[in-house]
Structure 1
Amino acid sequence: MTQHHDDDDDTASEVPSDAGTLPAIPEHILELDYVFQSVANSRRRYLLYTLDSNTEWSVTDLAIKIVAWETDTPEQAVSQEEIDRMYASLYHAHIPKLVDERVIEFDKESETIRPGDYAEQVLTALAGAGASLDTRQEIHARREMDDEKF
């Protein structure tokens, strides 16, 4: 048996030293359902990646960026119909989910999102979970919202 030191409560617990045995994990770390629910959908991950590069976004700007990403189209070429459909998806499904999970805050008056209480934790979890699979999406999401040409 080896001693395992738990940084959270400064107590040591005995953990078998068998090669296949994992150390005890503090319960609060296991309570990550909101993290996984927050990042389960690619559109929500996209919203989160944008927050890492800018602290506030309008829903319309996000709708344009996500349509451009999903259709591999320059932002300037995205149709109003596509923007409207994406806006509805974000406004009625994805933003409320992230607000409920306290990952983002939403100002209904200005129709903008900004990081919430758990944004940093969720972004850290994304980075640590091998989010490199989303590298192209992450780079696109963090791109400045300007008139840059693709």
Structure 2
Amino acid sequence: MTGDGSENGADRPRSSPSLRAREEPSESIVFEAACHARRRELCRLLDETETDDLPMSLADAAMALASREQDVPEAAVTNYEWERVYAALYHGHVPKLDELNVVDYDQGSETVAPGEHLTPVVEAISAVRAAVDDAATAETDAADSPDPADSSGR
């Protein structure tokens, strides 16, 4: 391992997180962006949002995520729940995703939009979700199948 933490032996100076985020998205960037359910949901929300509706206000993003988390219509989200989601996005998740170039965050207008690395993160999230779904289906199918060694027909 080199002084910059890489294993390829390149003699590069240690890069700051903001410089690292400008490079091609690495596995580490994808994992860091997708490590929390709320970050994954925000990435999916931005990916699913029509271009005309972007950038999205942080308040609207918080409402949409609170609705998804509670599995209720937006009109049924309590102010308390909206505030919890908004605060977590504002103070933690959005700044981190902005640092990783997954979202573009304008703090002045409090809006978020897809960043340069959003697509690879969403693709990784979708691939993991599909793999988990496939594994669960295979496990269910195996549990429902009769045991070929059991000749009693039970």
Structure 2 residue ranges without an equivalent (≥5): 1-22, 134-154
Greater CA radius of gyration, 1 or 2? Answer: 2
Aligned-residue offset at 1:94 = 0.6
Equivalent residue for 2:32, pick from 37, 41, 46: 37
Distance in 2 of aligned mates of 1:133 and 1:63: 27
Compare the two structures and name the one with the higher helix fraction: 2
Structure 2 SS opposite 1:114: strand
1:66-105 pair list within 5 angstroms: 66-105=65-104
- Runs of 4+ aligned structure 1 residues displaced above 3 Å come to 28-31, 130-134
Change (3 A) 1:109 1:49: same
Structure 1 residue ranges without an equivalent (≥5): 1-27, 135-150
Query: TM-score when scaled to structure 1?
Result: 0.63
Identity over aligned pairs, percent:
36
What residue in structure 2 maps to residue 19 of structure 1? none
Distance in 1 of aligned mates of 2:70 and 2:64: 10
Query: TM-score when scaled to structure 2?
Result: 0.62
Deviation per CA, 1:88-131: give whole Å up to 9, x if none: 11000110110111111101122110111111121122223335
